[in-house]
Structure 1
Amino acid sequence: MSLQFNKWLFWNLVAVAVFSSWYLLPNHGFWLDIDKTIFYYFNEKIGHSEIWVNVIGLTNNRAFDGVALLAMGIVYYSYYKGASSERKRQLLIVGFIMLLTAVGLNQLGRAIPVERPSPTLTFDNIYRLTELASFKTKDSSGDSFPGDHGLMLMIFTAFVWRFLSWKAGLWGCVFVVVFSAPRYMAGAHWWTDIYVGALSVASVGMAWLMHTGVFDSLLVWLDKRLPPLSKS
């Protein structure tokens, strides 16, 4: 219990420290400088390179979200396919709880009293991806905080790190970086929407779920009530 308490305390302190340093500082302090630097760096590239327009435009198309889902599915299935029947059952239940957690924490994030338009709706005289691309894409959000895609990816990372392996967890970390990047590269999100907003929500949510015994109790409860896997 002591070790679990230490982990619970650590991740809650991380969330409070990161969010407070962003929320309480005037104009978000040094975080705004980071956000502006990253936004203008990629916005300048969009305005002067057709390759950047096409690449960032494609990765912000709704269809590209399927690539992230496929990548996560491949990692999860690679551990599922060779597992015993008992382990497969456990992984299915874990996956179900993971989906419920994603829905719940996304709603928690929406409840944060912060309404923050994306950079493309904040700054003037900028390049807009939707005006430069010849296909449908996304470059704005009326309320971009916290970053929902980043949050989903972080939740996946936490689950697979604990219930699959540290290698799966590292893949999850790679997915967070790679699949959340197009959002702030296009200006649809601020960098801190992901690495402050999503990280804070994920840290608090997963700390209470993983390190208080709630998840383990839920796993046992579902295991007793759900039907066994078919052996056919």
Structure 2
Amino acid sequence: MWYRNLPAILMLNVLGIALFLSYYLPANHGFWFPIDASIFFYFNRQLATSEAFLHLVAITNNRAFDGISLLTMGLLYLSFYIKRDTAERRRMIIIGVVMLLTAVVLNQLGHLLPVSHKSPSLSFPGVNRVSQLIGIPTKDASADSFPGDHGMMLMVFCCFMLRYLGKGAFAIAVLITLIFSLPRVMIGAHWFTDIAVGSMSVVLVGASWWLMTPASDAMVSWLDRHLPQLRRR
């Protein structure tokens, strides 16, 4: 029964809350700020010294590159989908819908956290801005970067892969998350903690209750009954 997961759920909740409070409670975010600043300035210096790095960062933060991240996640999901029969494919489609709804809801809840700040590219004077150094349209700043929306979506994807497709899919999803979250940090559109603290704490708390209880399966079953266009023939 699901209640056997309760100790793990509570542990994940404690971990998520402790992670957030370790950032929220100390003055100037405690030990997190030096980590954030060091990571930002390390990459920011490279923008002015390496043209190859500058182009890489600009391209990987272009809106079109977000489509590549979605395509990569879709291809991983498709690799499992094509191996299923008709009934299982229907269920996978519905699970995909639930995953998208979960990402949207957790993202909205995340923005209720009592933290709001500008991206590091807007927080320090005299820094290198990719949009000013190169002509490629790119996202190098955010007026409110906490928590990281993109990182949260990727983490929700990881959780669903682990819950419904197993550890192998989860391992690949984690790799996808690392690859597609890093560009936002490298360009300065997000602090490291926007993702490692903001996105992670929300997902640890929210996804644990949603995926380790019957809640997500109940939603999948409800949609299965109420989406006639997906009914089996």
Shorter-chain TM-score bucket reads over 0.9
1:196-227 per-residue CA deviation (whole Å, 9 max, x = no partner) reads: 00001111110121123211222222223333
Aligned counterparts of 2:21 and 2:232: Cα–Cα separation in 1 = 49
Q: Indicate whether 1:102 and 2:80 are aligned.
A: no
| 1:113 alignment partner in structure 2 | 114
Counterpart secondary structure, 1:139? coil
Provide Cα deviations, 1:93-133, integer angstroms capped at 9, x if missing partner. 11010011111111111222211100011111211111111
In the alignment, is the contact (CA less than 8 A) between 1:85 and 1:229 conserved in 2?
Answer: no
Question: Which stretches of structure 1, 4 residues or more, deviate above 6 A after TM superposition?
Answer: none
Q: What is the match of residue 67 of structure 1?
A: 68
Aligned residue type for 1:184: V
Residues 23-38 of structure 1: pairs in structure 2 closer than 5 A: 23-38=24-39
Give the Å deviation of 1:4: 1.3
Find the aligned partners of 1:141 and 1:2 in 2 and give their Cα distance.
41
Counterparts of residues 70-149 of structure 1 (less than 5 Å): 70-149=71-150
Structure 2 match to 1:222: 223
* Counterpart-to-counterpart distance in 2, 1:27 and 1:105: 26
| Contact 2:158–2:173 (CA under 8 A) maintained in structure 1 | yes
Deviation, structure 1 residue 230: 5.5
Report the AA paired with residue 157 of structure 2: F
- Identify the residue that residue 171 of structure 1 maps to in structure 2: 172
> Using the alignment, how far apart are the partners of 2:141 and 2:225 within structure 1?
45
Measure, in 2, the Cα distance between the counterparts of 1:136 and 1:210: 38
TM (normalized to structure 1)? 0.96
Summarize deviations over 1:24-82 as a string: whole Å, max 9, x none.
Answer: 01111111111011001000000111111100000010000011001000000000011
Amino acid aligned to 1:72: M
Identity %: 45
Q: Distance in 2 between matches of 1:3 and 1:26?
A: 39
Cα distance in 2, alignment partners of residues 67 and 148 from structure 1: 16
Structure 1 counterpart of 2:201, one-letter code: S
5+ residue gaps, structure 2, are none
Query: In the aligned structure 1, how far is the partner of 2:223 from the partner of 2:74?
Result: 22
Q: How many residues align?
A: 231
RMSD: 1.3
Q: Which residue of 1 is the match for residue 159 of structure 2?
A: 158
The corresponding residue for 2:198 is 197
Secondary structure in structure 2 of the residue aligned to 1:83: coil
Give yes or no for contact 1:160–1:168 (8 Å, CA) kept in 2. yes
- Specify the alignment match of 1:187 in structure 2: 188
**Aligned-partner Cα distance in 1 for 2:11–2:21:** 15
